Structure 1
Amino acid sequence: MSIPPATDGLPLQSAQCPLCGGANACGMVRSGGAEEPCWCEQETFSPALLARLPEARRGRACVCLRCVKSQ
């Protein structure tokens, strides 16, 4: 399951993982938009991991690879 992008037109909030606060290496944050695809588009996120995300951060900040791999 992938994280659906925010559709309300608001920008991504952070280059920090919403779970651990570490750097998430988000390609969209680095490029300032959708010009650079993000590594997370190729990952699978478990429903349990997605449930841990604060509602306000869903679709706005990538979970870091460390948190994805520890799910």
Structure 2
Amino acid sequence: MSLKKSESICPICGQDNNCKHGQGGCWCDTVKIQKYVLDLVPEDKRGKACICKSCIEKYQK
């Protein structure tokens, strides 16, 4: 199963999120993301794609 193009794009910065969710495991399966970071995702993109590692690191500091 491969991701749709829209699922491979970070909804915050628009870069590749390197997500492999649903393909045997991914780094995103074990990351805890603070609510205030999730709130940065535009409403129309919520629950459709993972936030990339760069944005998680940038906004969780």
Question: What TM-score results when the alignment is normalised by the length of structure 2?
Answer: 0.74
Unaligned stretches of 5+ residues in structure 2:
none
User: Structure 1: which amino acid aligns with 2:18?
Assistant: A
Between Structure 1 and Structure 2, how many residues are aligned?
Answer: 56
Residue 42 of structure 1 is matched in structure 2 by 30
Describe the shift of the 1:22–1:37 C-alpha distance in structure 2 as closer, same or farther (beyond 3 A). same
Query: Aligned ranges for residues 1-71 of structure 1 at < 5 Å?
Result: 13-28=6-21, 34-71=22-59
RMSD after superposition = 1.8
Question: What TM-score results when the alignment is normalised by the length of structure 1?
Answer: 0.66
CA distance in 1, matches of 2:34, 2:47: 15
Structure 1 outlier segments of 4+, above 6 Å? none
CA distance in 1, matches of 2:54, 2:9: 12
Residue 3 of structure 1 is matched in structure 2 by none
Unaligned stretches of 5+ residues in structure 1:
1-10, 29-33
